[in-house]
Structure 1
Amino acid sequence: MRDVSRLAGVSTMTVSRVLTDPSLVAEETRQRVLQAVEQLRYVPDRVAGSLSSRRSGFVALILPTLMNSNFADTAQALSEGLHSAGYQLLIGYTLYRLDEEERVIQSVLTRRPEAIVLTGIEHSRKTTAMLFEAGVPVVEIWDLQDRPIDYVVGYSNFEVGRAAAHHLVGLGHRRVCAVGPCDSGEARDFRAEQRLAGFAAGLRETGTPDDLIFRHSHVPLSFTEGAEAMEMVAREAPDAEAIFAASDLHAVGVLMECQRRSIRVPEDLSIMGFGDFEIGRQSVPPLTTMRVDARAIGLRTAEVILGALGVQPPQESTSEETASKNSPARVHDLGFEVLTRGSTRPGNWKR
């Protein structure tokens, strides 16, 4: 900053004002300072500035993976929602491991984030303690619970699975499978596990056996894992009429393995996924799925953070809906929907 001030012929205080509140500086002086900044390629030290202002301008977002397009959509929408208020995202990822989440949170807190967004509601005791002690708003997303750390924005994964079971049984299927991740190991997808648990509960509610729930795959769920899961179903339950996969990526892997085995979809086997991924919309046949609005989760999370920080969103609507979104409610259930496409059809008894 001293170098900039010397080159521009102004005080360091003037340089500081240009960078933090340019409206306080005359246009000619401001342009001279900005020209010096550009010439010297000066980058302001925001961390040093935050020590006095107590503002870092960062919101931390912790994702299980950077490869999932739904999480990417949520991150993009969250960034858009925060950008107008001057906040940037600091993103870390956990590889679906609680111990890695613990390390990421510990590192992120040294950057002084003004809010923290976490994917899921399962955390280690140490992580939970750090979050309680952080003194900043914490938003858990992509899941739901009645008593979040601070706020939760998402939907019930258990209810997703339950609704999927009712949908497939409602089509007339009686030998119904589900495939998903193992419920043990260092890397765990707790949300997918909850979808399987809800699916089993939904089968029992309809009087359908729940003995064909295959917890076989490793996370993150993939096409390969789905194909391997289908191999297990073909071996263990060759009379299966329908399969629910815990992720669309998993389901597309199931579909491709069916094509390799000349199993007709949906004539011989109905397939249903979760997530409404683009690959599922473009597959042949297109995939029946459970849809969650990933962008809506990101936008609502931004609203919750800005409300918790007392930041007025620009051009704020005065509608009842917007007022409700910006209220201090702790639980935000955005729900889900069934999208019926070509990979499912009525079972034999309804034909």
Structure 2
Amino acid sequence: MKKAITRRPKMADVARMAGVSITTVSRSYNEPDAVSEKIRLRIAEAARSLSYIPNVMAGSLAATRSKTVAVVVPTLNNSVFALTLEEMTGVLNRRGYQVMVSSSDYVLEREEELVKSLLSWSPAGIVLVGRHHTRGTLRLLVEDGLPVVEVGEYLEGAIDSNIGFSHREVGRRIGRHFADLGIRRLGLALVALPGDHRAADRAAGFREVVHEAGLHLEEFVLSERASSKGGATAFADLMGRPDRPQAIFFSNDMLCLGALFEAGRLGIRVPDDVKLCGYGDFDFAATSSPSLSSVRPPDREIGRQAGELLLERFRGEGAPLSINLGFEHIVRASG
């Protein structure tokens, strides 16, 4: 019986299992037309069995790490991630590192495929968003052993290092704020995209306060990306119900802005008839009329600290750690 391989599999391991030379394995990846289909299939099966990831940088960098940091975000269509990436990229670029960004579209299986592909470039480190990953992703990262930083959420039991804040506490903070104002009927407009666990956590925290305080809650769930149109639709539905809310918490500021527009169209006064609060503190939140209350996540600080933490690890300094940066609840004219 062959001895089990516990380190990261090498090309030689694939060659041994497939019964071919290392040169043939290399050629099957780099010059597939030069290898028969039968041999290519045998090599591919061996690679799958061993969870082997070909190192596409091997020809020029041998076994060393590249000066690249791989980043996988859920979406590129979100200013929250853009600010984090901008700050982190600046920190890393100043030290000669380049950032390679991919989007998983909130699909964990897609994230696993991206991680597998990115590892083939021997990155110096990798950054992922959130705490939810497939077992395959976790196995790939643990076996590779490179520095990993999970950003955007504060959590215990991180793969390596973690920088973020509690989204559940965001929801709880907004719920307590409305409850302290004496509001008894609340609304929640939630974008429920599969894989967006952070929005789900904010909603869960909000519901917890509603339950603890014995308040009434009306919910509207959107299954599409946040937009002002979706916010207008959610607002009209919630305010048309018999127990219409006195205050509404939205998944993000874009929904909240749409609700503000719809309130004007329907002749509903904000904040006199209903109070509104979003999430993200987008640029327009402070300049809309009335200005929108929101939650400001520490996006830039997350990016800066993630970049600096990775640089420390690349120098062989520091150790894995978890950092809770908290968040700001900004109360403006909308309540």
TM-score computed with the length of structure 2 as normaliser: 0.79
The residue that corresponds to 1:213 in the other structure is 219
Q: Deviations over 1:18-49 (max 9, x none)?
A: xxxxxxxxxxxxxxxxxxxxxxxxxxxx9467
Does 1:291 pair with 2:290? Answer: no
1:137 Cα deviation from its structure 2 partner? 1.0
The residue that corresponds to 1:202 in the other structure is 209
The residue that corresponds to 1:106 in the other structure is 116
The residue that corresponds to 1:334 in the other structure is 325
The residue that corresponds to 1:225 in the other structure is 230
SS at match of 1:229: helix
The residue that corresponds to 2:17 in the other structure is none
Amino acid at match of 2:182: G
Amino acid at match of 1:300: Q
In the aligned structure 2, how far is the partner of 1:258 from the partner of 1:50?
61
The residue that corresponds to 2:7 in the other structure is none
In the aligned structure 2, how far is the partner of 1:219 from the partner of 1:309?
40
Kindly tell me the number of residue pairs found equivalent between the two proteins.
280
Contact 1:218 1:225 in 2 (8 A): no
In the aligned structure 2, how far is the partner of 1:55 from the partner of 1:329?
19
In the aligned structure 1, how far is the partner of 2:288 from the partner of 2:169?
26
SS at match of 2:65: coil
In the aligned structure 2, how far is the partner of 1:237 from the partner of 1:245?
20
Correspondence for 1:75 among 73, 85, 89: 85
Q: Deviations over 1:256-280 (max 9, x none)?
A: 2222222111111100011111122
Does 1:141 pair with 2:113? Answer: no
1:205 Cα deviation from its structure 2 partner? 2.9
Contact 1:60 1:90 in 2 (8 A): yes
1:171 Cα deviation from its structure 2 partner? 1.8
The residue that corresponds to 2:14 in the other structure is none
SS at match of 1:212: strand
Contact 1:160 1:198 in 2 (8 A): yes
Consecutive unaligned residues in structure 2, runs of 5 or more: 1-55
Does 1:300 pair with 2:310? Answer: no
The residue that corresponds to 1:88 in the other structure is 98
Does 1:256 pair with 2:261? Answer: yes
1:222 Cα deviation from its structure 2 partner? 2.1
* Aligned-residue CA RMSD (Å): 1.9
SS at match of 2:207: helix
In the aligned structure 2, how far is the partner of 1:238 from the partner of 1:204?
17
Aligned CA distance change for structure 1 residues 50 and 137 (closer, same or farther; 3 Å):
farther
Contact 2:84 2:300 in 1 (8 A): yes
Contact 1:188 1:219 in 2 (8 A): no
In the aligned structure 1, how far is the partner of 2:154 from the partner of 2:141?
18
Contact 2:190 2:222 in 1 (8 A): yes
Moved more, 226-235 or 190-199: 226-235
Amino acid at match of 2:204: A
The residue that corresponds to 2:22 in the other structure is none
The residue that corresponds to 2:174 in the other structure is 164
In the aligned structure 2, how far is the partner of 1:158 from the partner of 1:149?
21
Does 1:151 pair with 2:161? Answer: yes
1:329 Cα deviation from its structure 2 partner? 4.8
Contact 1:81 1:303 in 2 (8 A): yes
TM-score computed with the length of structure 1 as normaliser: 0.75
1:328 Cα deviation from its structure 2 partner? 2.5
Contact 1:189 1:220 in 2 (8 A): no
Contact 1:59 1:90 in 2 (8 A): yes
Consecutive unaligned residues in structure 1, runs of 5 or more: 1-45, 313-326, 345-351
Amino acid at match of 1:212: E
In the aligned structure 2, how far is the partner of 1:146 from the partner of 1:240?
35
The residue that corresponds to 2:71 in the other structure is 61
The residue that corresponds to 1:23 in the other structure is none
The residue that corresponds to 2:248 in the other structure is 243
Correspondence for 1:173 among 173, 183, 188: 183
Amino acid at match of 1:343: S
The residue that corresponds to 2:198 in the other structure is 191
Contact 1:59 1:113 in 2 (8 A): yes
1:237 Cα deviation from its structure 2 partner? 5.1
